Every structure is written in C-alpha cells, then in structure tokens.
A and B are shown apart, each in its own frame.
Chain A
Amino acid sequence: MTLLFEQLLNGLQFGTMIFLIAAGLTLVFGIMGVINLAHGSLYMIGAFVAATAAGRGAPFVAAVAAGAVAAGLAGIVMEVVVIRRLYRREHLDQVLATFALILIANDGVSMIWGKVPLPVDVPAALHGAVPLGGFAYPAYRLVLIAAGLLVALGLYLLISRTRLGMLIRAGATHRETVAALGVDIARLNTVVFGVGALLAGLAGALLAPIIAVQVGMGEQILILTFVAIVVGGLGSIRGAFVGALLVGLVDTLGRAYLPVVLKPVARPELADSLGGGLSAIAIYLLMAIVLVWKPRGLFPAGSR
C-alpha cells in the first residue's frame, strides 16, 4: 500500500512539473495559434542558468529565479525575432521553424557550456526525506509538488481574476474583437509568450537538482508536454493541469507496475523492456482515446 502511495506522489510530482511547462505551451498555442517545438529549449535554458548561478554561489532561490528570468527573456527574444512571423503561417511552417530553433538552441548551449552535465545540489535544508506514514519521501520532491500547485493556483487567479487574464481568455477565442477594442495584440502576444517561457524556465530550474542538466534535455520532456496539452485541451490552463497530471500518473504508475505484472511471465530484462515500452505506449494510447472521444481535448479553451 505504501508503494502505491509513494508512486502516486511520484506521479503527482512528475505531473506538476509537466504542468509548469505545459501551461506556457498551451497558452501560446491556444491564443496565438503557434506550435512551438522550441519550448523545451526554454526549459533547458532555465536549468542551465540556474545551475550556473548556483555553481557561482548564489542562494538556491536566487538561482531558480535567475533561471526563470533568463528563460523568460530568451522567450521574449524568440518571440520578437521568430515566432511573431509565424502567426499567420501554416502549422507546417511553424513546426519546421521551431524545429530549426531547437537545433540552434542545442548547439548554442553546448558551445557556451560544453557537453558535460552541470551539477546542481539540492539546497541543504531540503536534503532529507520526510517521514510519511510508513516510508520517507524526499523533501525536495514534496517542495516541487507544492511549487507546482502554487503556480497552478496563481495562474488560475491570474486568468480568472485579472484584466490581463481576461484579455488572454478573450484573445483565445475572439482575437479580432480584442484587437478592435484597441488592445495592443502584439504586446499581449509577447507578454503571454514571455510568461510561458518563464514558467518553462522555472520548471527547468526547479528540476535541475534532481535530473541531469544537459544538452537535449528539453526534447525528452517536450513530447510528453504536447500530449498533456492535447489531452487537456488547447488554450486552457485547467486543461493543461488535468492533462499534465494524467500524463504524469499514467507514466509513473505504468513504469512502476507494468514490469511487476509482467515478471511472472517473462525474464527480468524482457519484463522491464516490455513494461517500459507499454507504459510509454500507454500515454499515447491515452491521447488517442481522448481525441477519439473528445476531439478537442477534455477542457478546451472557451468551454465552461
């Protein structure tokens, strides 16, 4: 039973991190209609900058903030130089242009920081494990869950209670009207993109102590993020949250239990490889099923 509980927490933690990345991505797609494959690169930049800051002695919170801000700035540059030209273009052009950005970002990062993974330590205060009735769960992962939930709450409040949020919601469904009302759409776009980039960078910075900060780390998590927002519904934060949690849970529980289920009937390496493969496939199966049942996702933007 405790194993299940621990795995549920793991799924929750993974899911909330995916949410941080997905939030920006879904806003960018929902409001600006742009598929941004390079979103993972912003996550990577956040991780690298945070790692560098921490390595130079900055306190942890400052390093994380630095990473998030750096990603946000990179996002703004990306938007102004490239993304802006893609709004009216076909999806194929967007896919290819942002694919090109990935190539540039990866090589750029490896030229600046080299190819050796960067070290980041979990802050000393959070090093231990918290006893949770039967077992001890890593303190830092609990912090990640808390951070993810806080951001989710913050975004929800932003979207539903502020003027900016109202503009974002309106922009998602009624672009021309918003423009006609005199709102500077171009600036709105840049702000939205920047916020999304900042969140992705935050995820990277927060995850840096527990995963390897290395070139190519963005692509590994990007596809899962896309699945999350498609499942959740494009353009909606609530959808991104639900989708991300679903993906996190399916992935973690699949990887934890499928090999165990298969073990009685297969050799260990076979059980593990099939189990791993099946749990990876399960996520895509999830997406396919959701799309067949609800073609626009579970909570698409504009729905109530």
Chain B
Amino acid sequence: MFAYVRAPLAALLILSLGTAVAGAADPPTVKIGMITTLSTPGGYLGEDMRDGFQLAVDEEHGRLGGVPVQIVIEDDGLKPASGKQIADKFLLQEKIQLFTGIIYSNVALQVVPSVVEAGAFYVSPNSGPSQLAGRGCNKNFFVVSWQNDTPHEATGQYAQYLGIKKMVLVAPNYTTGKDAIAGFKRTYHGQIAEEIYTGLDQTDYSAELARIRAANADGIFYFLPGGLGINFLKQFTQAGLKKSMKVVLPEFSLENHVIGAVGNDAEDLYGTAHWLEDLPYPANTKFVAAYRAKYHREPTPYASQGYDTAKLIASGLRAVNGDLSKADAFRAALRRADFKSTRGAFKFGPNQYPVQDWYSMKVVRDPKTKQLKLRGVGKIMRDQGDVYASQCKLS
C-alpha cells in the first residue's frame, strides 16, 4: 500500500518544495513612477527628494524590501497639466501601479485623483494637501511628510511661545501659501499686523518690505519656498528689519540650501521642523552619514522625506513580495508603517497622513567651524495629527 502512496507523496513534496523555492526566487521588478519637479527655480526640492529616495534603493542594491525596483522619473516643470500628462503616460503606457514624487500641491491635486481612480497607489513624499486629508481622503493615498497646514501650526505655536506680540505674515498667493497662513493663525493668538500675499515668481520685495516696516510688528513669519525665500531674506536683512523683528519660519524657509544661499543673513533665525539633522535616531544618523558621503552636501527635509518614503514602500513591497495585485495586503502593510524612519517611530493617522512630533530650532554659529547651522532646541508639539483627519471616512 505504501508503494502507491510513496510516489505521489514524493511528487507532492517535490512540488511543494519547488513552489517554495520558486516563491523565494526573484520577484519581478516593480516600476515606481516618480513625477517630480526638477526644473524651474523650485527644482532642487525635487532633486533632493529623488536623491534621498535613491539612497534607500542603493542601500539594498537596487531593491526595496527585497524586491527589485525600477524608478521611472519625469519632470513636471511645476505645471499641473504636465504632471497629469506624465501620470497618464505612466498609467497607460508603462503600466505603473505605484506612484510617488510630487513636491508641489497644485500638481498633486491634478495627478493623485487620476492615479487612485485607476486603482494605483500614491505615496506622497512632500505634498500633503488639505483637500485630500479630510473628506477627499482615499485608501490608496498615503502621505509620508506632513499635512500642509501642520508645519505652520507648529511655527505659530513657537511664535506664541517666544512671546511675540505682533506679527506680519507673508506667503505666495496660491493654495499652499494660503494654507500656511491659515495654519499659523490656528495656533498663534497674538496680534496680526499684516497679511501679505506675494506673486509666485516675484524677485523684488522692496515694496512689501516698506509695508512691513510701516507695520511696526515685532515678529515676522513667512512661507516662501526655495528661491523666493532666499530673495526675501536677503532683502529683509538689508532693509535692517532683522534688528527689530524676530523671524520665525517653517523648515522649508530654513533648510540647508537656503542657509547656504543666504549666508550670514540666516543668523539668529528661529524655526520649526518635523525632522532635524541631529535627531538621535539610529536610522537618521545612518541616513545623514550616507547622504553626505554619496552626494557631498548636507541633507534637507526633502531628502529625508524621500528616504522615508522609499523605506515605507520597501516595507509594503516586502509584505507582498513585490506583487502589487495583492492590493489589500499592500495597503495594510503600508498602513502598519513598519519601518525605521529618520524621525524615530512613524505612524499614520486615520486619514493616512502622519502623526508626529514637531521641534523648535534656531540658526546658530558653530563655535568650532564658524559655520551657520540649524540646532534643535526642544519639542513643541507631540503626536500631532492634522485638523482634517476627523472628516476622513476610511474603513
């Protein structure tokens, strides 16, 4: 009797062994569609994000979560229409099911809906629009950075803490700029002397500076990303206004590139951030060292966010072994956020936007190198989510 059983049993054994081996064999390459801003004066943000992301991939020698990945990258030129075009191409022609990369929210608001409508996943390394955080939330949309309002809520909190009585607020005249000022006003309860909205490609701020001078405030907050902020700060300092006004900024206006570009004008600035170069978490120390070694420059928040995004995706890909058709499993894995972030422990809120700590910082001169650097001062917000999470109805 055993003779009749042995052969099929052996066959079964070999078959199952073979399947196990096949399963452990190389998963197919997953294409990741990275649409980001690489040109225009705001282009270096996209570059930093891309470089941070790539660093994570390099750590695993071309893989994420053990799965070989291919990054298909294209420049949206900060134009929503281009972003949408590229997304269509990636979805239809390249058959990409996993997207990331967008820096600017106006582009994101055009791209994300078509991506998730097609059943693909979008993991945002930077843009965290309010429109997709509340009622517009989607189960396939994850944000690794922050919700657009929160960085400015942190800054408002710090301004309040610093005892600034009267503030001037400045931002460019578009969605994210308005969100910034709205966020700041949510936590700052002092007097607002002036709210100034500038042009998106303005270079000369002399007219606005004269208005600021006339406002007689003792503090200023501005959200002017990239080159805009560099211009503004230089001109602000030269107008002599820094002597009478404290400057409190969100990290985008105060990251390493900006400090490098404005030189001494950055001294004595206050700021808030969700990530600092000297956060003492092992993942962060490793990231900063590797980034410096590979790219010969200091990392910025965008780079850390790109890196964390890649790590999050890695955790998801590991769980499904690269098989994105297992959408529910992939999604569940992403939600678990089981990876070591540069910010320590990482977790999502109910709307799949992060819940995290926020720090205060100051620009100081290093006594040894005499260079200006950002130094963390303390923690001003703990486990902070965003105000839109309660409106999101995700199962």
Contact = CB atoms under 8 A, between A and B. Distances in A.
Q: CB atoms of A and B under 8 A apart anywhere in the complex?
A: yes
Interface string B72-106: 00000000000000000000000000000000000
Interface string A239-273: 00000000000001101100110000000110011
A127 B210 contact: no
B40 A121 contact: no
B264 A121 contact: yes
Interface stretch (B1-9, B195-203, B361-369): B195-203
Contacts of B197: 268-269, 272-273, 276
Interface in A90-145: 110, 114-119, 121-122, 127-129, 135-141
Interface stretch (A2-10, A32-40, A154-162, A288-296): A2-10
Nearest to A255: B207
Contacts, number: 125
Contact of B211 (A117, A138, A215, A256): A256
Given A212-B203, A212-B261, A127 B238 contact: yes
Interface string A73-96: 000000000000000000000000
A214 interface: yes
A215 B239 contact: no
Contact of A273 (B38, B173, B264): B173
Contacts of A19: none
A165 interface: no
Contacts of A7: 206-207, 210
Size bin of chain A's contact surface: 35 or more
B195 A210 contact: no
Interface residues of B, number: 42
Contacts of B235: 138, 210-211
A303 interface: no
A6 B210 contact: yes
A129 B238 contact: yes
Contacts of A3: 210-211, 213-214
A260 B203 contact: no
Main secondary structure of the interface of B (DSSP, over half): helix
A212 B39 contact: no
Given A135-B213, A276-B198, A211 B203 contact: yes
Nearest to B171: A269
B134 interface: no
B41 A212 contact: yes
A220 B203 contact: yes
Contacts of B238: 122, 127, 129, 138-141, 210
A115 B206 contact: no
A221 interface: yes
B40 A216 contact: yes
Contacts of A269: 173, 178, 195, 197
B204 A116 contact: no
A117 B240 contact: no
Interface string B47-78: 10000000000000000000000000000000
A151 to B, nearest CB: 19
Given A214-B41, A255-B207, A119 B260 contact: yes
Interface stretch (B11-19, B223-231, B269-277): B223-231
Interface string A196-213: 000000000000011110
A13 B238 CA distance: 14
B5 to A, nearest CB: 70
27 contacts: A3-B210, A3-B214, A7-B207, A10-B210, A14-B206, A115-B43, A115-B44, A115-B47, A116-B260, A116-B261, A117-B44, A118-B261, A119-B260, A121-B265, A129-B238, A129-B240, A138-B240, A211-B235, A212-B41, A212-B261, A214-B41, A217-B41, A220-B201, A220-B203, A276-B173, A276-B197, A276-B198
Q: Which 3 A-B pairs have the closest CB atoms?
A: A212-B227, A272-B197, A129-B240
